[in-house]
Amino acid sequence: MEIRRYEQADFAACKEIFLSNVPRFFMPDELDEFAQDLKRLGDPYFVAVKAGQVVGSGGYFCAAKGMGLSWGMVHRDLHGQGIGKALVQYRLERIAEDYPDQAVHIDTSQHTRPFYEKMGFIAERVEENGYGPGLHKVLMKRPPALS
C-alpha cells in the first residue's frame, strides 16, 4: 500500500469511500461539507492506494487548540485490514516531524472511539447525537510527541 498526497483526480474515489461509510460513520448531510473541503484544500490531505485504487483518505490541520486530524476514512468493504491504522500513523508522523510540541485532536464517533484509543487518543468529552440521531461526537486528544 502507498500513501500519497491527495490530487483532484482522487475526488470521485474519496466521495465513494465517504458514501460507503454512511450512515454508520458519517451522516448523509456531511457529504456536502466533505466535498467542499476537498475542493478548497489548504491543509495536507492524503490517500491510501492499494492495487492502483484509492481505498482510504485523511488529512490534518493546524488550529488554535493544536493539530487536528480531518476526514479520515477507509472504504467500508476494507475495514479491519490495517489501512486506517496506517493512515493515522502516517499523519501522526508528519505532525510529529513538523509540530512535535503540539497535541493532536480529533472529533470522531462512538463507533471509532476504541480505534483511536488504541492509537493513543483520550476521550475528553462526548456530545450525545452530536453528528445526528444516534451518532455521538467524541472529542479526543493525543498528547504531543515530546510528552
Sheet holding 2-5, edge to edge: 2-5, 45-50, 53-63, 66-74, 104-109, 135-142, 122-132
**pTM score, two decimals?**
0.93
| Neighbour-count burial for 26-37, b at 16+ CB within 10 Å, e otherwise | beeebeeebeeb
The mean pLDDT value of the chain amounts to: 95
| pLDDT over 90 percentage in the chain | 93
21 grid coordinates = 461509510
In whole angstroms, what is the distance from residue 54 CA to residue 2 CA?
9
The pLDDT confidence band at residue 147, using thresholds 50, 70 and 90, is low
- What is the tens place of the pLDDT at every residue in 80-121? 999 999 999 999 999 999 999 999 999 999 999 999 999 999
The per-residue pLDDT for 63 is 87
Q: Which domains does the chain have, with CATH numbers?
A: 2-142 (3.40.630.30)
Cell numbers 476526514: residue: 71
